Structure 1
Amino acid sequence: MNPTLRHSDRTPVWLRWIIPAVLVFTWLAIAGVGGPTFGRLDEVSSNDQASFLPASAEATVAQDWQAKFRDSDEIPAVIVIEGADALTPAQLGQAAALKQQIEGLALGSTVIGPIPSEDGKAVQFIAPIAESDQLRESVQELRDLTADAAPEGMQAFVTGPAGLTADLVSAFAGIDGILLLVALGAVFVILLIVYRSLLLPLAVLLTSVFALCAAILLVFGMAKLGWIQLSGQSQGILSILVIGAATDYALLYVARFREALTHTTNRTAAVLTAWKASFEPILASGATVIIALLCLLFSDLNSNKALGPVAAAGIVCSLFGALTLLPALMALLGRAAFWPFIPKLVPAGEREPELVTGLEGQKGLWRATGSLVSRRPRTVWIASVLLLVAASAGVLQLKANGVPQTDVILTASNAVDGQDALARHFDAGSGSPAVVVVDEGKAAQALETVETSDGVGQAYLLAPGSVPITGAPGTPSAPDVREGKVLINATLDYAADSAEAEGVITSLRSELKTVDPDALVGGVTATALDTNTTAQRDLAVIIPIVLVVILLILMLLLRSVLAPVLLVLSVVLSYGAAMGVSALVFNHVLGFPGADATVPLFGFVFLVALGVDYNIFLMSRVREESLKHGTRPGILRGLGVTGGVITSAGVVLAATFAALGVIPIMFLVQLAFIVAFGVLLDTVLVRSLLVPALAFDIGPTIWWPGKLARPEGAATSPRTPATSPR
């Protein structure tokens, strides 16, 4: 009897069936609890930009003081009603009657208005809305009312902070459903093409979905306990990251499992062999991404800091899914998972061919690639580097200094249209004033400074009983005083989310320091300014930390110094090229006005961490083969056996991140393009050509100072161009 079959018969039942079944049922239970939690994420999610600032930011401190001047949390909605011609007396009467109707909705405190414009073609109201989970519904209620009650021939818009926030929330509304359907659909199609099987893609997708359910459950718990801040942005990134990472790890495991099935008829033995072979690279890959993401905890920007543990939790769940659930499914399915293209048992003499060139047994694309790398290694890697450097030149055109909030939403927005109408007829900053906090004794001098500052339309001290988020025109004889401080509201000449408005805030802060060294300037514009400034600081601090961490992990995995340094440099160069091409696309193809200040940092963390993943998959296998056959044959052998799976993984990850583009938020669309393009660039050029060619050119020294760099460390091979026997 075949000894392999006898071994199969001796496999204990608990190992063949009970443990896999327990693992599958455990994951079913996790998914059963985590799945319904998707619908509850809104309970612990916030899209308030100010809440993501560091506690030390001036805008944050000013916001804390501003809260002391009000008895309730309210956010202003600015209602603009405009016509093509000057309003008639009858239309003005209708507009005046609208105030009572708005107050009848009982959305917040006293409504201010109607305030006619100087050109007589528009009126505006400022309607405070109590902050709650129902903000979007409240704004929609206000829009329905004003659209019906507006004088005939006039248009009504609801904008300001409340309107813009409501439209932003609406843009994220499909993030749980549409995003997941697009991502999972794309992954399923790719897996069908790769495996030409139905069961295997379903098993891989099931692993990804269950890992996401576990991640959602974990993140929900952390947010509920107040450990992290969750936003629609980080929620979308979490979903994509978990699906992409879990699928990548699953592809690597499945490749080793398929390979093991060609060596044995015992599916349990094949499962364990594949697990042992893939455990180290999957763990190293996951650890790299996890630690890189946790480096975001060094960020001063709370939104970045929050994404770190959120995304890291997702990768942890992806790792557990790929190393427990997927092997359990493979143990239960065995060869049937690959039906109808079931892997056949390869005769023992053909399993480990003796390598001379490293191309033995290879065919098709990866044989051609390996042949090119071996014949012209220096030409290949130098040409690759020059191409990446040329693409990186586009970085000089990257405008990552933040974008106006009105440009963040890429679909039609009533609030954005309202901001345009507001700018046509009123001071553009109406409804979103700059807020100045000064000592009571410096109030008069500070008010005069603000009023005479360039870019300020009007300014006034907050009176007792006024609405502190909007104020009331006119200077009170007795300003409201809280703990020795007074508030000055300053309406700017520019839209609150514009670069010009940020320039006014910068000037105000400088001028007011000469009046009161403790003066604070906050508000919507100051929040955006401080966010951009903090994001630039984070970029300079976090990038070096991430690079050092990744370098150390690679050194431990590859037992080398030179190879990890070169791998990190290659991925950094790939990141620069991806950002350069992205800048050109954003500016000249998509016509974006700029990019969020956090885009370069997020792009770096994801591209570098995920790009190193593929180099880990490649070089860990190269090292394994080099120990058996020598460095240069090992490089070609490693490239050939990992080429298909790594390319498939890259395409899957690119497709999942590209799915972020269905959410009409500029930041997510930009991140989707950067990561999708960068991953493909890294997979096709860096991992397939640059890294193998550079390693082949250097030879055994690539493992310096490890034992493989020494002649006694492994078999040696001639430096002559490699050709394989036919």
Structure 2
Amino acid sequence: MTAKTQGRTRRRAIPWVMLGLWVAILALAMPFAGKTGDVQQDRAVDYLPASADSTRVAKIQEQLPGGESTELVLVYHRDGGLTAQDKATAQGQIDEIAGQHKLVGTPEAVPAKGGDTLFYPVASNEPGSDEKLRDAFVNEVREVAEGSGGLSVDVGGPGALATDASEVYNALDGPLLYTTVAVVAILLIIIYRSPLLWLVPLIVAGIADMLSLAVTYGLHQTFDITVSGQSTGIMTVLVFGAGTDYALLLIARYREELRRQERPLDAMATALRGCGPAILASSGTVAAGMLCLLAADLNSSSGMGPTAAVGVLCALVTMTTLLPALLVLLGRRVFWPLIPAFGSAPKQRRSVFGAMGASVQRRPLAVLVSSAVVLGALALGAFNLSGNVKQEDSFTKTPEAVRAMTTLSDAYPERSSQPITILAPNGEADRVLGAARDTKGVSAAEQGRSGDTWTEISVIAEAPPQSAAETATIEKLRDKLDTSLVGGPSAQQLDLQDTSSRDTMVVVPIVLLSVLLILIVLLRSLVAPLLLTAAVVAVWGASLGIGGLVFDSVFGFEGSDSGLPLISFVFLVALGVDYGIFLMHRMREEVLGGQDTPTAALTALRTTGGVIASAGLVLAATFGVLMNMPLVQLVEMGFVVSVGVLLDTFLVRTYLVTSASMVLGSKVWWPGPLSKLPARTVVPERTERPAATV
């Protein structure tokens, strides 16, 4: 056997070796992927700011005697007034619950002045800190506390709200995964029009998702990163969205090379060399942007950063190793019935993006100004974003615990339905209690549990929960009691709002600087990176503006998530730059090939248009899946990111970036060497590549 034959044999073995390697990786990863749900944390403290007073209060409360108790409120209500039988039914149910569980103290009825409502505070230490035992206790109480004949009974309170929230987050994984897979599958079938090809990238994306779960579990065990239902759900969306994008780009280039080269392995090697750098730069930009979230103080944001980065990198690895191996082993027949035969020419079709480019070419400056004005006008809608969504309004479907809070708020307008918690140093407990009672806006204050260092004081505000008046009361208490800690559900929401604003001011510049540096290295220019960065920032503003116009009037939301501006910014800047990278990378390739910059801009738009449009639709659709989830913050984020991706795909990349490149000419590459090339008016003849090329 000659050396040439031996080399060819070894090369043919590469796909099989790669497939065998992935089988081994999957065997190792599968057990750990299944454990991610065990370390997923969806308590309030897992979403709170790491350094906030309310977070410290929640953690210290767990250490106080009885601090691990599950606190509930059983709310009984009848329109027109409670009857004697209703009150007897309520007391009987409370006695039954007390007989089944060891309660803290004896629950006593608190009737409303109107006579139509009463509630019983119920607490138990039985569940301890075990979330499963807590959920079981809440559900057992709900089985007993049932209304009939017009008497409504709702179980609320912190324990019930935690159980309802946990059920929502636990329910995300299945529906989110299935819906995402279905959406991607439908789009791939439409794009490829093949009974087999669509299945290959979908399977690889599923493997990438499983691998990302395993790696996330490893990161949690090693670095104790926060893993929540929100972060793992978004990671799944990102894996399928970004991973499918990379697959579309690679398969398009591979199909092209199959017409030029006889052996699939050679065609794949050329395809990887051609689009690999752009995919690598794209995934690196997204991962770097996600990791910038580590600078956030909000636990949910800082935990989302590494999980999202893991998802993107796992998608990159699988789509550039496992996918090529599978495609080579399946050969040309995977494209059936549209098999790209060796030596054949692709069917020439009228390019939609070529027509768009021609319209830009006629009046590039007018197109540039018009695009900027449209984005600026849309961004004005962001001023219409309503205040931060309240805890009881954060579900798209009202759970029982929220119904209980609403009933309490209506029946007891003279008092808050949830306490403000103050932790005072033991030696100052009496002074703090007196100062709290003397604070304007406080209805009542009582001393509760005491530990080795801290004493708990429960404060009832005069104003409803999370109202402006109650917020003012919390701020007065914090100003007045500087040696104590003020927490509780309302204080937590206030700290979430303040920390989100702080995180936005800190993280946004870091993301912009990171993305800009990557683009400068990739494009060897300063002007082009600044252009792309400004474009994606404009997309972010326009997307938030559209959200501000529809969240209240169309979706009926009572507010917006305080973390929406930051999270949507990170995702839209990191993901939006992707398509700019693909466009500019191809434009730079054309300039190096002999075209002047305006002509190269049109060529890049025409040749990258189809595949990047497909990729944008897939990415927008996968994030759009979040709009079907039962949490307002996920619906809002899914909407803003989806709209932003579509704006970036069909307005910014097609018109704004292309027209700006034509107006600037070679200056777009300043101060790199391409900006110093002499002007060329004659375009060298070359064989045009199909529109799918990137």
Partner of 1:66: 61
Give the 3 Å change call, closer, same or farther, for CA 717–108 of structure 1 in structure 2. farther
* 2:526 alignment partner in structure 1: 561
Q: What amino acid does structure 2 have at the position aligned with 1:121?
A: D
**How far does residue 616 in structure 1 lie from its aligned partner after superposition?**
0.6
Once the two structures are TM-superposed, the CA of residue 125 in structure 1 deviates from its matched residue by 1.6
| Residue in structure 2 matched with residue 257 of structure 1 by the alignment | 254
Find 1:296's aligned residue among 284, 289, 293.
293
Is residue 433 from structure 1 mapped to residue 442 from structure 2 by the alignment?
no
Aligned twin of 1:286:
283
Question: C-alpha separation between the residues in 1 aligned to 2:570 and 2:94?
Answer: 50
| From 2, 9, 13, the counterpart of 1:13 | 9
Return closer, same or farther for 1:300/1:315 CA change in 2, 3 Å cut-off: same
Shift of 1:440: 4.4
Q: Secondary structure at the match of 1:594?
A: coil
Provide closer, same or farther for how the CA distance between residues 403 and 498 of structure 1 changes in structure 2, counting only shifts above 3 A. farther
Query: 2 CA distance for matches of 1:629 and 1:362?
Result: 25
Structure 1 residues 470-509: Cα deviation after superposition (integer angstroms, max 9, x where no partner):
xxxxxxxxxx4633x4321112234444454333211221
Q: Using a 3 Å threshold, how does the CA distance of structure 1 residues 112 and 588 change in structure 2: closer, same or farther?
A: same
1:481 & 1:567 partners in 2: Cα distance? 56
Structure 1 residues 569-648: aligned runs within 5 Å: 569-630=534-595, 631-648=597-614
The equivalent of 1:98 in structure 2 is: 93
- Structure 1 stretch displaced more, 366-375 or 86-95: 86-95
Match of 1:354 in 2: none
Q: Select between 120-129 and 384-393 the one with higher mean Cα deviation.
A: 120-129
Gaps of 5+ in 1: 1-6, 352-360, 463-467, 469-479
Runs of at least 5 residues in structure 2 that lack an aligned partner in the other structure? 689-694
Aligned to 1:245: 242
Match in the other structure for 2:665: 699
Structure 1 range deviating more: 219-228 or 248-257: 219-228
Counterpart CA distance in 2 for 1:451 and 1:333 is 76
Aligned to 2:119: 124
2:140 equivalent to 1:141 = yes
Q: 1:68-121: per-residue Cα shift (whole Å, max 9, x none)?
A: 432451231111011224434444333223222112332753452222223332
1:23 aligns with 2:18: yes
Partner of 1:87: 82
CA contact (8 A) 2:65 2:451 kept: no
- Superposed CA deviations along residues 228-275 of structure 1, whole A, max 9, x for unmatched, are 111111111011011101111111111111121121111111010001
- In structure 1, what is the Cα distance between the partners aligned to 2:218 and 2:338? 43
How much does 1:711 deviate? Answer: 2.1
Give the TM-score normalised by the residue count of structure 1: 0.88
Aligned 1:138-287 pairs, distance under 5 A: 138-147=137-146, 150=147, 153-225=150-222, 227-287=224-284
Aligned counterparts of 1:174 and 1:612: Cα–Cα separation in 2:
32
1:30, 1:213 within 8 Å by CA — same for their partners in 2?
no
Residue 503 of structure 1: aligned partner: 472
Aligned to 2:308: 311
1:531/1:647 CA distance change after superposition, 3 Å: same
Equivalent-residue separation in structure 2 for 1:376 and 1:136 (angstroms): 64
Q: TM-score, normalised by structure 2?
A: 0.92
Tell me, in whole angstroms, the C-alpha distance in 2 between the residues paired with 1:342 and 1:618.
27
Check whether the contact 2:390–2:559 (CA below 8 A) recurs between aligned residues: no
Q: Determine what percentage of the aligned residue pairs are the same residue.
A: 37
State the partner residue of 1:490. 459
CA contact (8 A) 2:36 2:214 kept: no
Residue 177 (structure 1) shift: 1.6
Q: Which residue of 2 aligns with 1:356?
A: none
Q: Which residue identity does 1:408 align to in structure 2?
A: S
Q: Which residue does 1:658 correspond to in 2?
A: 624
Q: Spell out, residue by residue over 1:185-219, the C-alpha distance to the aligned partner (whole angstroms, 9 max, x if none).
A: 11111111111112221111112111111001111
Residues 289 and 312 in structure 1, CA contact (< 8 A), matched pair in contact too: yes
**Deviation at residue 286 of structure 1 after TM alignment:** 0.6
Query: CA shift at 1:29, angstroms?
Result: 4.4
Q: CA deviation at 1:49?
A: 2.1
Aligned-partner Cα distance in 1 for 2:370–2:676: 29
Contact 1:99 1:113 in 2 (8 A): no
SS in 2 for 1:587: coil
Q: Which AA in structure 1 matches 2:379?
A: S
Change (3 A) 1:21 1:152: same
CA distance in structure 1 between the partners assigned to 2:106 and 2:178 by the alignment: 43
AA aligned to 2:8 is P
Partner Cα distance (1:74, 1:501) in 2: 26
For 2:25 and 2:112, the matched residues in 1 are separated by 59
Contact 1:94–1:151 (CA under 8 A) maintained in structure 2:
no
Shift, 1:593, TM fit: 1.4
For residues 561 and 72 of structure 2, the distance between their equivalents in structure 1, rounded to whole angstroms, comes to 25
Match among 400, 403, 419 for residue 417 of structure 1 = 403
C-alpha change, 1:265 and 1:71, in structure 2 (3 Å) is: same
What secondary structure is seen at the aligned counterpart in 2 of 1:200?
Answer: coil
Distance 2:173 2:165 in 1: 15
Residue of structure 2 equivalent to 1:407: 393
**Structure 1 residue 144, shift from structure 2 partner:** 1.4
For residues 428 and 606 of structure 1, what CA distance do their matches in structure 2 show?
44
Q: 1:675 aligns with which of 641, 645, 653?
A: 641
1:78 and 1:431 in contact (8 A); partners too = no
Task: Report the Cα offset of residue 340 of structure 1.
Answer: 0.6
SS class of match (1:177): helix
Separation in 1, partners of 2:455, 2:470: 22
The answer for the alignment partner of 2:680 in structure 1 is: 716
Equivalent pair of 2:408/2:417 in contact (CA under 8 Å): no
Distance 1:127 1:42, change over 3 A: farther
Task: In structure 1, give the amino acid aligned to 2:651.
Answer: L
Inter-partner Cα distance in structure 1 for 2:73 and 2:32 = 35
Q: Which amino acid aligns with 1:667?
A: Q
Q: Establish whether residue 375 from structure 1 lines up as the match of residue 362 from structure 2.
A: yes
The secondary structure found in structure 2 opposite 1:172 is helix
Count of residues in Structure 1 that have an aligned counterpart in Structure 2: 678
1:428 and 1:570, CA in 2 relative to 1: closer, same or farther beyond 3 A?
Answer: farther
Which residue of the partner structure matches residue 52 of structure 2? Answer: 57
